[in-house]
Amino acid sequence: MFDPRKRQIGEMDNMAIHFTLERSGHIFNSRADGGAPFFVGCQTSYREKSSGDEFEGLYNVPRRELPKLIYRAADYRGMYRFWAAFIEPTSKCEGGNFLTLNTYDRARFTWGFGQFGAHVPDGDFVMFFRDMVSRPENADYFPDLSVRDGRIVKTSGGGVVPMETANSTVPLMDYLNPTMSAVEDSEVASAAKMIHWATNVAPARDLQVMHMVGVFKRLMREADGRLGLDG
């Protein structure tokens, strides 16, 4: 369970950016390198109707505390043309914000205006996160993660631990959000890092768009194969 006292996250893993986590009731904030506090999310409970399982986690949309970093097709029409507009209705249904976060269901960590879920092997989140981990800023956020042979791995104790395979993302989900029964320090820290990264580095937002367009192109190709859409 998250310690309600302020904690310094990062000194133990030699991060370049040090995140301090703060809690006030059910609201979580963070500070990067002692800077101004920024909103991370609110603790919530969720009951899955099909199984009856109950989960604890974070959400941050809709909340007025979250910066309005909204996906707008007009901003990307020059690069993606038709596809920039085609993905916009889905983005609006998912909150529309580049910083949208959910950690309260079986996906364990769901991110961005396209709501990429970490639970699917070789899925949208995994493919997106591989590209994020490959970016130069990753040393400031997840320095123990890297991509080797096309897969996300963690450096631990001088060794390398696979975080995802073609069959499972359980280690990656455990890394980002250890359990579904509580809100842990590492869960809040992972969320804070992703929010800070996307807020301050425009290419991190551009990656969301690139992968969202890629997902929709794939889905349309699959639908064309089944239904004969003919473009």
What's the order of all strands across the beta sheet hosting 151-156?
145-148, 151-156, 159-162
- State residue 51's pLDDT score: 86
Residue 22, classified by CB atoms within 10 Å of its CB into exposed (0-12), middle (13-18) or buried (19+), is middle
| Phi then psi dihedrals of residue 173, to 5 deg | -65, -40
Please write the tens of the pLDDT for every residue from 48-82: 888 888 999 999 999 999 999 999 999 999 999 99
Q: Is residue 130 part of a domain?
A: no
Number of domains in the chain: 1
Q: Is residue 87 part of a domain?
A: yes
Q: Is residue 164 part of a domain?
A: no
DSSP state of 5: S
Rounded Cα–Cα distance for residues 209 and 27 (Å): 28
* CA distances to 41, 80, 117, 212 from 193, in Å: 12, 28, 17, 21
Taking only the tens of pLDDT, the chain with its 231 residues reads: 334 334 344 333 444 799 999 999 999 999 999 999 999 999 999 988 888 889 999 999 999 999 999 999 999 999 999 999 999 999 999 989 999 999 999 999 999 999 999 999 999 999 999 999 999 999 999 999 999 999 999 998 889 999 999 999 999 999 999 999 999 999 999 999 999 999 999 999 999 999 999 999 998 888 888 888 776
Q: Is residue 1 part of a domain?
A: no
DSSP state of 122: T
Q: Is residue 186 part of a domain?
A: yes
Taking alpha carbons only, the member of 64, 40, 32 closest to residue 183 is 40
Domain range for 26: 7-118+172-227
Q: What are 57's strand-pairing partners?
A: 44
What's the order of all strands across the beta sheet hosting 54-59?
7-9, 19-24, 27-32, 38-47, 54-59, 101-102, 110-111, 116-117
Q: Is residue 128 part of a domain?
A: no
**Alpha helices (H) along 151-201:** 170-176, 185-200
Q: Whole-prediction pTM value?
A: 0.90
Rounded Cα–Cα distance for residues 156 and 17 (Å): 19
Listed in order, strand segments (DSSP E) in 70-122 are 101-102, 110-111, 116-117
Q: Contact 184/2 with Cβ under 8 angstroms?
A: yes
